Amino acid sequence: MRIATWNVNSIRTRVDRVTDWLARADVDVLAMQETKCKDSQFPTMPFAALGYEIAHVGLSQWNGVAIASRVGLEDVQIGFDGAPSWQDVAEARAIGATCGGVRVWSLYVPNGRTLADPHYPYKLEWLAALRDAATSWTGPVALVGDWNIAPTDEDVWDPAVFEDSTHVSAPERAAFQAILDAGYSDVVRPFTPGPGVYTYWDYTQLRFPKRQGMRIDFILGSPDFAQRVTHAEIVREERKGKAPSDHAPVLVELT
């Protein structure tokens, strides 16, 4: 089975690119983030034409997460227990479903914005709640998506540029590590060692051709999931071409 995650940065803008890649890459399950649409606006038909079922939650032109599966889509859950709200709104940042016997969670972790912004403690609270919830989940579980955290200095093109910024702060990295300590592992990194291996490149200042990126998209697997991983890759080529997302897909193969 082939499972992937991709921050698509607007599914309505990039549905043709996404479905074309799904067909070429022979992906069974794709978790998407930043779909940027309401449920009624999600372009379901192009996925259905390829044999995929869709689970999606989106409230507006911001956020939004989805799972596309051609191996079953069962026990769909929007949000996880204990997830905090932002200004009394439960944002569209997490959706889980069982696909071919694997519990897949598509996650779009809050950005944090700046260290002084109210979104920063919200991000840390959200990650702590995810850790608490994920600790109780059993079987093959994959926590996949855009984590908005670069866990190590080698995960950014120049640590000095990000000094005193979100994504690299000690509390954020500790929150990411807490999920690893809860029993999950980064199943992609052993196949794609760094430094210089990224999943995101800002649109500005020619960051992509200059190879000035960040590694912030991850697939974290429970022990039952991790032991089945036989291959993983970051599909950098999908950051190229006309109107790409600013993120590349991340893909794993399971026995």
Phi-psi region of 75 (alpha: psi -120 to 50; beta: other; left: phi over 0): left
Task: Decide if 108 contacts 93 (C-beta within 8 A).
Answer: yes
- The pLDDT value given to residue 42: 98
Q: pLDDT band at residue 213, thresholds of 50, 70 and 90? A: very high
Q: What is the mean pLDDT of residues 139-157?
A: 98
Mean pLDDT of the chain: 97
Q: For position 176, what pLDDT does the model report?
A: 98
Question: 151: pLDDT confidence band, cut at 50, 70 and 90?
Answer: very high
d(CA 18, CA 35): 11
* Residues 113/119, Cβ–Cβ less than 8 Å: yes
Binding-site entries for Mg(2+): 7, 34, 146, 148, 246-247
Binding site listing: 7, 34, 146, 148, 246-247
* Per-residue model confidence as pLDDT tens digits over 62-71: 999 999 999 9
CATH code matching the domain that covers 2-254, chosen among 3.90.1150.10, 3.60.10.10, 3.40.50.1820, 3.30.390.50: 3.60.10.10
How many Cα neighbours within 13 Å face the side chain of 163? 3
DSSP track, 6-44: EE-S-HHHHHHHHHHHHHHHT-SEEEEE---S-GGGS-H
| Range 189-204 average pLDDT | 97
pLDDT band at 113 (very low <50, low <70, confident <90, very high): very high
Alpha carbons 155 and 5: distance in angstroms, whole number: 18
Q: What is residue 139's predicted lDDT score, i.e. its pLDDT?
A: 98
Provide the residue type at 65 as one letter: V
Token pair in block for residue 123: 């991000």
* This prediction's pTM: 0.98
Residues forming the active site: 108, 146, 247
Extents of the domains making up the chain: 2-254
Within 8 A by CB and 6+ apart from 99, the residues are 3, 28, 29, 67, 69, 71, 72, 73, 74
Reported as a pLDDT band with limits 50, 70 and 90, residue 57 is very high
